[in-house]
Structure 1
Amino acid sequence: MKAIILDTETHSLNGLPVEIAYVPFQLENGNASMFADQCFDEFYSVGEPISYGAMAVHHIIESDIADKPSYKTFELPGDVEYIIGHNVDYDIAAIQRCGIDTANIKAICTLALARKAWPSAEAHNLSALLYMLMNGSDLARQKLRNAHNAKHDVLMTGFILKSIVRELSIQSIEDLYAVSEVARIPTTITFGKHKGLPISSLPADYKAWLLGKSDIDPYLRKALEAA
């Protein structure tokens, strides 16, 4: 399992994982494969109540995790080099709370890749992308009945990822990572008094102020340094 597509559902926003799922993914010579028969999916107890807001998103309730193992027992397969996910940083942060060391993991973000592949798409969340790619079909609607279930989300991400690979003519997992890294660098500022302004047009003093912040997003830092 050199690469996996991973998804987590958490007990609150930025909380502990109550469900983790992953599926092996392979990309060689432009041929993308997802091994659904090897999909891992497990519920976990977290020792804290699931928030009602989180329940409204993933529909996991207390009885689903009552007798499940602790989230601290989760382990990644030992040979994983790449973790792929839609807004992947959220899921990597979730498994870090399990005690997983991700220092040597290379993260690939399908959200950033989708924005690069289809910049004019109305929305880039998983559900909207699936409807777009399947032309608003009834089959797409059926597939989305279990949206925000971690297992279904990794399989849906895999389907969308295959379309991204074709759209961007990506040949290998190494190339996929490289394209993702570039795609994650923002071109416009998304917050504050200059929201919506191209980063290249930001006032010099504002760029300097942002670069002086210790908690700045690393990809925003790259964009500011390039500008």
Structure 2
Amino acid sequence: MSELFPPAPTTPTLFDEPVSFIVRVIDTETAGLRLEEDAVIEIGSVDLDLVTGAIFNPMQTFCDPGGAVISDGARRVHQITDEMLVGAPPFSDAVKPFNTETYAAQRADFDRSRLRLTGRWLCTHKLALRAFPNVRAHGLQSLVKYVPLDLSSVDQMLAGLHPHRALFDAVCTAVLLRRIAEELTPHCHDLSDFLERAEKVSNEPALLAKLRFGRHKGIPIREVPTDYLQWLVAEPEMNADAVFTAKRQLALRQFRGERAPPSANG
């Protein structure tokens, strides 16, 4: 587990800086267009106390899309209609109550780029790849099913909602983050160390358990031939997650002096 969740370098300080262990787990639903044309139409969040595991303070709001058209694909997923958005506040007002110090989201790069909230961000998708590398799939509802996650403690928060609505997904993501912390914190010095490591992992490309394309698609990364990993690293414009994963696996094999898997050509 140490190579999956390595220590993060820290900067020594002369002053004690209080650390909050309350994480605002947040999710957004959007019009479904490209980032530069996209519009947030719903925000949902809950707070997770990493010390006690309590999930509380549910918040949810619609946002006026500001003239952006909701794509048919996005509408089929989140089922938010134009009528539901009538009278919703503009995004600039709707987002203000969600401001805090530490956030988490299942695909944090997506939510962070659209919400533009400053602070520490944790990506539960990237963390789940470290905590549960052998789970069949790492989408949110796949993790709920295959980890599996016990949602019984948040049944009341989920009542009347469905997957791909902002509050529903935020609640499930909070349960996921709680389970990730249970898995990874024993490998850390304390919760502060967990947060430092989690932030570092969240700012890196995803460390894949399996490749998502090519001749070795779906094969555990430890079984992919070394020469194929070397090709991935050298290939221009290759997917960043694949390159990062290949580099890490090659370095791990070199460090361990392991015998390489058979050649891709052999």
Structure 2 length-normalised TM: 0.63
SS at match of 1:147: coil
Q: Which position in structure 1 is the counterpart of 2:60?
A: 41
> Contact 2:129–2:207 (CA<8 Å) still a contact in 1?
no
SS at match of 2:68: coil
Q: 2:138 aligns with which of 115, 120, 124?
A: 124
Q: 1:86 aligns with which of 76, 99, 106?
A: 106
Separation of aligned partners in 2, 1:71 and 1:126: 25
User: Cα gap change, 1:92/1:20 in structure 2, threshold over 3 Å: closer, same or farther?
Assistant: same
SS at match of 1:42: strand
Q: Which position in structure 2 is the counterpart of 1:75?
A: 96
Separation of aligned partners in 1, 2:30 and 2:98: 21
Q: Which runs of 4+ in 1 moved over 3 A?
A: 76-79, 142-145, 179-206, 219-227
Q: Which position in structure 1 is the counterpart of 2:70?
A: 50
TM-aligned CA deviation for residue 8 of structure 1: 0.2
TM-aligned CA deviation for residue 72 of structure 1: 3.1
User: Cα gap change, 1:124/1:18 in structure 2, threshold over 3 Å: closer, same or farther?
Assistant: same
> CA-to-partner distance for each residue in 1:15-64, whole Å, 9 max, x for gaps?
32100112222223xx4332x2x222110111122112111111101011
> Contact 2:129–2:209 (CA<8 Å) still a contact in 1?
no
> CA-to-partner distance for each residue in 1:55-110, whole Å, 9 max, x for gaps?
11111010111211122332365541x22111221111221xxxx353xx332111
For residue 158 of structure 1, what is the amino acid of its counterpart? A
Separation of aligned partners in 1, 2:159 and 2:136: 20
Equivalent residues in 2 for 1:191-210 (5 A)? 191=213, 198=221, 201=226, 202=228, 207-210=233-236
* Counterpart check, 1:165 vs 2:181: yes
Q: 1:109 aligns with which of 114, 123, 135?
A: 123
Which range moves more in the overlay, 9-18 or 195-204? 195-204
Separation of aligned partners in 2, 1:144 and 1:116: 32
Q: Structure 1 unaligned runs (5+)?
A: none
SS at match of 2:183: helix
Q: 2:50 aligns with which of 4, 7, 27?
A: 27
Q: 1:175 aligns with which of 173, 189, 194?
A: 194
> CA-to-partner distance for each residue in 1:156-176, whole Å, 9 max, x for gaps?
111222222223335415414
> Contact 2:25–2:173 (CA<8 Å) still a contact in 1?
yes
User: Cα gap change, 1:25/1:174 in structure 2, threshold over 3 Å: closer, same or farther?
Assistant: farther
> Contact 2:63–2:88 (CA<8 Å) still a contact in 1?
yes
Separation of aligned partners in 1, 2:107 and 2:246: 21
User: Cα gap change, 1:146/1:205 in structure 2, threshold over 3 Å: closer, same or farther?
Assistant: closer
Aligned residues: 209
For residue 121 of structure 1, what is the amino acid of its counterpart? V
Query: RMSD in angstroms over aligned alpha carbons?
Result: 3.5
Percent sequence identity over matched residues?
Answer: 24
SS at match of 1:32: coil
Separation of aligned partners in 1, 2:143 and 2:211: 24
Separation of aligned partners in 2, 1:114 and 1:10: 24
SS at match of 2:50: strand
Q: 2:207 aligns with which of 175, 179, 185?
A: 185
Q: Structure 2 unaligned runs (5+)?
A: 1-19, 251-266
Bigger radius of gyration: 2
